[in-house]
């Protein structure tokens, strides 16, 4: 990703969205980018939805057990209050946030903040998930990651739910979900 130099000295923000299915490496990529920002001595704040307690109540943890400290929050407006005087904001599991997450990201970018958002672009039915489509629409940079289909070995872009439990939101890991390609998902 090439960022054109800003010769006016004014700090410009932007929005990066990392999306894909479960087990595609979204959180891993988010953590990688945030750690690089910290190495560059940038002030970084990381947020996750309070509802996501799968690996840790507070930290953002990838399926590969990479960890970065974060702040769990109940609503996206809290990010604006807690992200004062920062260079980079990381947001994990954005699909679980309320509708205001899009405006929050836009306001941060207008403040000159680099915003890095990770989340599922589709739910277990292969439908757009939460506010992710709206975040993708306003993003300056988009990275779509793929997992490997557990049935055939091709690239996977859908999180197949292995249980019959209903509801769009069901937090789970490998016992509940597996990545599937389009063909295997629809069979």
Q: Is residue 157 part of a domain?
A: no
Active-site residue, 93 included: yes
Q: Tell me what pLDDT residue 66 has.
A: 66
Asked, for residue 160, whether it belongs to a domain, the answer is: no
Domain range for 110: 14-146
Structure confidence by residue, pLDDT tens digits, 1-53: 545 555 556 779 999 999 999 999 999 999 999 999 999 999 999 999 887 66
How far is residue 35's CA from residue 40's CA, in Å, rounded to a whole number? 9
Q: Among 93, 106, 173, 187, which one carries the catalytic annotation?
A: 93
Q: Quick check: is 45 in a domain? A: yes
Closest CA to 89 of 3, 14, 2: 14
Which residue ranges of the chain lie beneath pLDDT 50? 2, 172
Residues whose CB falls within 8 Å of the CB of residue 155, separated by 6 or more in sequence, listed in order: 146, 147, 148, 149, 181
Could you tell me the CATH number of the domain that includes residue 96?
Answer: 3.40.50.300
Give the total number of structural domains in the chain: 1
Establish if 30 belongs to a structural domain: yes
pLDDT for position 56: 58
pLDDT of residue 174: 55
Q: What is the pLDDT of residue 13?
A: 97
48 within a domain of the structure (yes/no) = yes
At residue 148, the 3 state secondary structure works out as strand
Q: What stretch of H or E contains 184?
A: helix 182-186
Which H/E stretch holds residue 88?
strand 88-91
Does residue 164 sit within a domain? no
187 assigned to some structural domain:
no
- Is the sign of the CA dihedral 139, 100, 81, 72 positive or negative? negative
Q: pTM score, two decimals?
A: 0.86
> Does residue 3 fall inside a structural domain?
no
């Amino acid at each position: 990703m090439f960022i054109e130099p800003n010769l006016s000295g004014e700090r410009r923000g932007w929005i990066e969205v990392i999306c894909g299915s479960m087990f595609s490496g979204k959180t891993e990529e988010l953590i990688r980018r945030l750690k690089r920002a910290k190495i560059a001595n940038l002030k970084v704040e990381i947020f996750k939805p309070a509802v996501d307690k799968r690996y840790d109540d507070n930290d953002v943890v990838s399926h590969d057990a990479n960890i970065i400290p974060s702040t769990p929050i109940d609503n996206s407006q809290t990010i604006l209050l807690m992200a004062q005087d920062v260079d980079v904001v990381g947001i994990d599991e954005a699909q679980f946030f309320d509708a205001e997450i899009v405006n929050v990201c836009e306001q941060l970018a207008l403040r000159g903040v680099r915003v890095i958002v990770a989340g599922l672009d589709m739910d277990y039915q292969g439908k757009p998930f939460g506010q992710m489509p709206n975040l993708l629409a306003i993003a300056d940079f988009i990275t779509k990651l793929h997992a490997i289909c557990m049935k055939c070995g091709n690239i996977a872009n859908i999180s197949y739910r292995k249980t019959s439990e209903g509801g769009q939101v069901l937090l789970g890991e490998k016992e509940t979900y597996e990545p599937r390609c389009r063909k295997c998902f629809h069979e």
